[in-house]
Structure 1
Amino acid sequence: MPIRLGRVLPAFLAVSLAVAAGAEEPRAVATAAKTEVTVGEAFAIDVTATGPEGTAFTFPPGAEAETFELRTAAPPGAAPVPGTHRYEATVFTLGEVEIPPIRVRYRRSDGTEGETATEPIPLKVVSLLPKDPDARKLADLRAPVPVSIGRAFYLAAALALAAVVGLAVWLLRRRRRRKRPETAPPVPELPPDVETLRALDALAASGLLARAEYRRFYIALAATAKRYLERRLSAPVLEMTTAETLAFLRRHRHGSELVPVLRDLSEAADRIKFARGAGGREEAERHLSAVRALVPALEARLQPPPTAEGRAA
């Protein structure tokens, strides 16, 4: 019995299209804005996910390890394109480094779920020092230049000496005329925790938040927190950048738990101080409370463990 081509061809095309649609698997591709970065430099990583029509993708909020940090970047003014996600990455070590695969969850239109991952991202991390070795060397000191001294110099020196002698004689006579005041005893330096808590109380009572002077508030709050860490952890924290401070705390045996507080405070302070971002009183009071809570928490971790006699008592 003859088979009509008009009936077979549509069925064959429908089956072919269904097979092709099922064969298309979701995939994710990561692209770094730079392949060579410096230690602590922030750069963007864009992840693009594609798949069959109707597939929804869920991107992880970020990742954190000893050598790198990956966080979701602040969204721009316009809404991101569906299936795309931007991260802000920072690397804290030198040499050849790889950002590991970023895993993306997906859900097809028929309800099936799965996971795909990007390829690792190779990076070259270089030092902040100049690449040219000659540029790193200290410049040679110039030889001393002889200076001719004339008669006017000696005359001026004699007048200055006479003025100094006259002033010394006048001060000596004046001192003899009055009783020498008693010397005040030196004021002992406050412990770091006491000094910091008093400084935070003074900052809270300064009225900066009531006047919406958020830039001055965050400058004072960040300096207070870094001075406390410098005195307590015996490190030049006041001279460190934000990236250097966070890297130092990750390495310190008592500092890893302080990283979220300092990172949150530093991001807000940098946004307001340098990017002229808008501040809010509720957020500022939250940061003040977080720094205040940091002090007793670190003091407790720095206390020596109780001795056997103390536990028995």
Structure 2
Amino acid sequence: MDKNDASVSEVRPRAPLHICVIGSGSIAQRLVELAGGRLAGSIVFSGFAVKATTAARPWWPDGVRRIADPAELEELRPDIVVEVAGREAVRQWGTAALRSARKLIVCSASAFTDDAFLAKMQATARAAGSQIVLAHGALGGVHALSAAALLPLDHVMHTICKPVSAWKGTPAETVLDLPGLASAAIFFEGSAREAARTYPANANAVVVSSLAGLGLDRTLVRLIADPQAQLNRHRVEARGRFGSFNLEIENQPMASNPKTSDMTALSLLKLLEAEAGAMIV
């Protein structure tokens, strides 16, 4: 055996990462389904953080622990906590997650429209030596935007266009006659902060594009309901010293929740793959 072979033989495989998921809805289920095929043996779902009244789901992996109190995270000690339960869940579980795990992946970025809460979470992460990661969700091109923002940016506009069904049960119903809509209609134009506060289930992505670029108050947002649309479309236009770009992505709505898409679960899966895999692209 030569020197190189000896070095290889001494390498020890990494232990599986222990993951706790906050939430147990459609995105959580899709993430578990996808991870079962892509990350089997590399990660273990060790806990689901849910309300005390939430029944165990048939798709939960064997041996998973149900927890209902953030204090229980200290005993569970996961490597990574993944939040997919809404912005109030970020408030309830966020600081405990940062103190118990090395990384908190946040899906409900609208929680960070509150500057004081964002500052508190960042301070907790620094003190605990942990990290907050914003999942890109349905949005593409975030790395390009965050790189462009290293030089001064002049303009960022984030437009979201979704089928009428995606806006049901939101304040859009007070602005538009959704059932009677005959053509695409813009029903919101304003700051990313206002859009995410008003439409947290539909506009989480604008917080991601804002924190990557010009910030919540300088990033412009346009929301559109389109009765002819079949897909959820995001377009991010940016202009600055780097040059300019126009990034667009169309996502298939998730069958069980048209306000989101499979890309939300896929982006979470890629973040976990980056932690557990041998190569990151």
Please state which band the TM-score falls in when normalised by the shorter chain.
under 0.3
TM-score, with normalisation over the residues of structure 2?
A: 0.23
Greater per-residue strand proportion: 2
- Structure with the bigger RCO (C-alpha within 8 Å, sep 6+) is 2
More helix by share: 1
Q: TM-score, normalised by structure 1?
A: 0.21
